Amino acid sequence: MWRSASKLLNLAAEAGHPLDPEAAERLEAYLAMVAEHNRIVNLVRYASEEELVKAHGLDFLPLLAEVSEGEPVVDIGAGAGFLGLGLAIARPGIAVTLLEPNLKRAYFLQTAIARLGLSARVEERSLEAVLSGLPPEGLLFVTRALPRKEKVLKGLGRRRSAPHRLGLLLGADAPAFGEAMKLWYSVQHMTPMPFRRDSWLLVLQNVSRETL
Higher pLDDT, 135 or 4: 4
47-70 residue pLDDT tens:
999 999 999 999 999 999 999 877
Assess contact for 66 and 167: CB atoms under 8 A: yes
Half-sphere exposure of 97 (CA within 13 A, CB side): 20
- Residue 137 predicted with pLDDT over 90: no
Question: What fold is seen in the domain 58-211?
Answer: Rossmann fold (3.40.50)
User: Which of 140, 55, 145 is closest to 105 using CA atoms?
Assistant: 145
User: Which of 3, 20, 151, 148 is closest to 82 using CA atoms?
Assistant: 3
> For the range 31-37, what are the long-range contacts, defined as Cβ-Cβ under 8 Å and sequence gap of 24 or more?
31/3, 31/57, 32/3, 33/108, 33/111, 33/112, 33/115, 34/80, 35/3, 37/108, 37/111
pLDDT at 45: 93
User: Which of 118, 168, 169, 120 is closest to 140 using CA atoms?
Assistant: 168
- Residue 33 predicted with pLDDT over 80: yes
Confidence band for 210, pLDDT divided at 50, 70 and 90: low
Largest CA distance in the chain: 53
pLDDT at 99: 97
Give Cβ neighbours of residue 180 (< 8 Å, ≥ 6 apart): 150
Query: What residues form DSSP beta bridges with 203?
Result: 167, 189
Query: What residues form DSSP beta bridges with 187?
Result: 204
Assess contact for 167 and 203: CB atoms under 8 A: yes
pTM exceeding 0.85: yes
196-209 residue pLDDT tens:
999 999 999 999 76
* C-alpha to C-alpha distance for 66 and 68, rounded to whole angstroms: 7
pLDDT at 211: 44
User: Which of 104, 100, 101, 103 is closest to 84 using CA atoms?
Assistant: 100
As a whole number, mean pLDDT of residues 76-99 equals: 96
